[in-house]
Amino acid sequence: MSQAKVDKRKYEKKHRKEIERKKKVKTTVTCVVAALIIGAIIGVPLGIRIYKSIPKFVGDSTLEAFVGNYIDENYASDIAVLNKTEDSTEESSEESAVDTDSEEEQTTSEAEE
């Protein structure tokens, strides 16, 4: 063996931990860069396709019509039930208000007698 080879092997043996650490860092960086490149190759065209498929502008009247139709188609029965319960509670509260008014009139007329 030549003296250069001997010196090289001695250096490698002495600095083995540093050399292994540098090799691991280099491998890790290579994997991360490769993953980013593959992600960009797949992600950019896919993102552009998704972005182009989204409608750009929806007018107020169009949006209101869409929301109204959607609610009518999907939640009309729920809204009808809610309206019935609100109507019945309003009627019962009106009847109770009328009952309390008539009771007050009776008590005042009894007090006057």
Residues 22 and 43 in one domain: yes
HSE value, Cβ hemisphere, 13 Å, CA-based, for 94: 6
Domain end, chosen from 54, 75, 98, is at 54
Q: At what angle do helices 16-53 and 3-14 cross, to 10 degrees?
A: 70
Task: Tell me the pTM.
Answer: 0.42
Residues 50 and 87 in one domain: no
| pLDDT score recorded for residue 91 | 57
Q: Which range has the top average pLDDT, 6-15, 57-66, 68-77, 84-93?
A: 6-15
Q: Do residues 18 and 25 touch, judged by C-beta distance below 8 A?
A: no
Helices (H) and strands (E) in the chain, counts: 3, 0
* Distance separating alpha carbons of residues 82 and 87, to the nearest angstrom: 9
Residues 66 and 32 in one domain: no
Residues 34 and 77 in one domain: no
| pLDDT score recorded for residue 96 | 54
**Total of domains in the chain:** 2
Instruction: Provide the residue range defining the domain that includes 15.
Output: 1-54
CA-wise closest residue to 103 among 92, 89, 111: 111
Q: Which two tokens stand for residue 78?
A: 């729920």
